[in-house]
Chain A
Amino acid sequence: MLSRTADHMYWMSRYIERAESLARLVDAHYRMSLLPHDDAALAQSLRATMTALQMEDAYWERHDTIEPRAVFEFVSLDREFSGSIFSCLRAARENARAVRGSLTSELWETLNSTWLDARTLVAHSAPHADIGQFVEWVKERSHLTRGVAVGTMLRDEAFHFTRIGTFLERADSTARILTAHQTDLKPGADAGAVPDPFAWSVLLRALSAFEVYRRVYRNVITPVKVAQLLILRDDMPRSLLRCCKEVYSNLRSVTNEHSAETERRAGEMHAMLHFTRMEDILSSGLPEFLEQFLGKLRDLSDRIAIDFLVPPAEA
């Protein structure tokens, strides 16, 4: 397939996944803000999240203090901010439009109507937008888009590139969310007790892991087990291991004559996660681990762009 087409497919699915990840984060914090809560803890969590997502500078250009409502609107609806959910939906649709002939009609119509609805929603409800409803809707549209892609696309290169985009983005997002909560995951914190139930539930809910945690561990929430679940569980759909496994297997389906090294590095990331123990990660330092992981992920996506897509310099 055309490199440019693959590039648009890849970014289309990355942007939809990014919109969903952001919607999950907003949703988790928004729910907490509705319950009796500690204002400082909520503000701290929002701030840490924005830092991990590299959104803080753009936020400070617009506001002087961390106000939950302002943060929610900034992340969800800001038209000028290229990292907002609204902008991600626009970017996903722009990428889809550039290759609409290569998408199934169902997939194109889903992405197009998502964008049209988002635009109407933001235009009509801006000052009093129901944030909870909006992020809920974004999650649904993302589920729908992914479902339509899986349910209608031929299992060819185009499909594999959309999958690579989805899982690279998801790995990136999970790693950043963990980074935002790394202080709660300090080795010393694992005394079996719950250090900060507030932070934990935000983290778990943002990754659809709250119910999963209960089901898997049938026990009180402890940092080591949370980290285990989100980093090393093969059956957890948003864990780093699961995402790397998907990236690797989809990459193997599209190999070309230049891509051996890229494939090897993806395999290495997968194997490293597969054979590592949680204790080793924690003892050598979770922040360092996450930083390294994000670096490798960046390297991998650069290499994929060079081997298959439109290299950054040309794009």
Chain B
Amino acid sequence: MYLSDGTTRPHYLNYDHWLKEQPAERLSQKRAEADALFHRVGITFAVYGQEEGAERLIPFDIVPRVLPLEDWIRIEGALKQRVRALNSFLHDIYHDQQILKAGVIPPEQVLCNSQYRPEMQGVDVPSDIYAHIAGIDIVRDDTGEFLVLEDNLRVPSGVSYMLENRKMMMRLFPELFSAHRVAPVDHYADVLLDNLRSVAPTGVADPTVVLLTPGAHNSAYFEHAFLAQQMGIELVEGQDLFVRDEAVFMRTTQGPQRVDVIYRRIDDDFLDPLVFRPDSMLGVPGLLTAYRAGRITIANAIGTGVADDKSIYPYVPAMIHFYLGQAPIIGNVHTWMLRKKEDLDYVLAHLPELVVKEVHGAGGYGMLIGPASTKAQIEAFRHQIIATPERYIAQPTLALSTSPTFASQGLEPRHIDLRPFVVSGRDVTIVPGGLTRVALQEGSLVVNSSQGGGTKDTWVLEA
């Protein structure tokens, strides 16, 4: 919001002016109001490892994160480019594997990856789209450069917070929205449904789309219910579906009803107990047979995890060159791959200043943040790295951009990132905005909600 010399960035001028006029009591009253509303509406997430039924709010910060239009245009272009390349990559590795033959990516990196699904080899999916919904995490470093930190192509979540945060801001501060031209986001559900319908199996005129959830105890259950309601589709659990003659049906009060598209919010491993984890109670026996026969579309497709794996991430810029013949508009964070000897040597020598991540880790678990760790923690991690270097990557500790955030002492700078949601199907579409996550602990770089992160409304200002 502010430049280093204390002046306000141009796109924040209007907001800053408004903020300075607000009495402190009004703002704290509005914060309390926001908490009460989130509780009543039940916008909560379940916390793993706590007593059943434990639900917590994701802390919501009432100071919005503002992006000027020119930044957004750049981000939008970059993400469309990136997701197109990732979908091309997924189609390629499950068909001809040209990128492997061309030597751009070492074949074992893909074929020996636990997220690679041999069951998908040679299976055609509608419009060749695999990652129908992608959440791409973007950060900004101290030079003001945007960088992609992570691709989420399995079951990316958080879009409901993007939508609810906007609703909340409009409810709390309607006057701000008449003073700013904030690009709307609330058509996301329409965009999503339209794209999901467009990838139905061929020959289905009026497809039935459902959202498959693991159930009310899942941490993202609120989002599943929310999206199903916004799209006007059924929210189903595995037990509601069954497969007969290679077609998928749901059990309704009027008997079985055919299902054409499943927007699934459960991992590959749990989808079909006959093929993947046999102990899964969440899936649908026989689903993969129907899928391979082309009688049902699953979004995201089975096997997309191989493209969002952290060991594949370093190759995404090369994919953009390979499939699109373009230079990436927004690049990656520099990444050392510890399975390479020279990278490993460098990283082991510089552990205190780096961030080390597990290749298959997610949610901010299984990582080492060098500058924030004790000597003992670093040494413990060093042993793990040496034992299985191929399980890790390392990145420089970024001086992530900050945004003013309410803390106990009033407004203080906190680190943020941004996750826009890219929807592919009929076209590649991004609603202007995304989920801004904020690390609420002073100095912390971890924005994950499971690790004490919060969220902000994200404004893209129209000219």
Q: Give the interface centre of A1, A100, A161, A254 by most chain B CB atoms within 10 Å.
A: A100
Interface residues of B in 1-52 (CB under 8 A from A): 39-42
Of all chain B residues, the one with the shortest Cβ separation from A6 is B253
B236 touches A2 (CB 8 A): yes
| A105-B41, A109-B40, A116-B40 known; A2+B255 contact, CB < 8 A | no
| C-alpha spacing A161/B239, complex, angstroms | 20
How many residues from B make CB contacts under 8 Å with A? 26
Q: Quick check: which of B222-230, B295-303, B384-392, B454-462 contacts chain A, the rest being far away? A: B222-230
A82 within 8 A of B: no
Shortest distance between the CB of B55 and any CB in chain A (Å): 9
B240 within 8 A of A: yes
Of all chain B residues, the one with the shortest Cβ separation from A95 is B216
**A/B pair count, beta carbons within 8 Å:** 64
Of all chain A residues, the one with the shortest Cβ separation from B232 is A101
| A109-B40, A109-B41, A112-B42 known; A3+B225 contact, CB < 8 A | no
Size range of the chain A interface in the assembly: 20 to 34
Which listed residue (A4, A101, A102, A256) contacts B240, Cβ 8 A?
A: A4
Of all chain B residues, the one with the shortest Cβ separation from A3 is B251
| C-alpha spacing A113/B42, complex, angstroms | 9
Of all chain B residues, the one with the shortest Cβ separation from A115 is B42
Chain A contact residues: helix, strand, loop or mixed: helix
A99 within 8 A of B: yes
Specify which chain A residues have a CB less than 8 angstroms from the CB of B353 in the assembled complex.
Answer: none
Of all chain B residues, the one with the shortest Cβ separation from A4 is B240
B229 touches A101 (CB 8 A): yes
A4 touches B216 (CB 8 A): no
| C-alpha spacing A112/B254, complex, angstroms | 29
B409 within 8 A of A: no
Give 29 CB contacts A-B under 8 Å: A1-B252, A2-B234, A2-B240, A2-B250, A2-B251, A2-B253, A3-B240, A3-B251, A3-B252, A3-B253, A4-B240, A5-B235, A97-B42, A98-B215, A99-B225, A99-B235, A100-B42, A100-B222, A101-B226, A101-B227, A101-B229, A102-B229, A112-B40, A112-B42, A116-B40, A157-B253, A254-B253, A257-B255, A308-B253
Residues on A facing B (Cβ under 8 Å)? 1-6, 94, 97-102, 105, 108-109, 112-113, 116, 157, 161, 254, 256-257, 308-309, 314
Given A113-B40, A308-B253, 13 more pairs with CB closer than 8 A: A1-B253, A2-B251, A6-B253, A100-B42, A100-B222, A101-B228, A102-B229, A109-B40, A109-B41, A161-B253, A256-B254, A256-B255, A257-B255
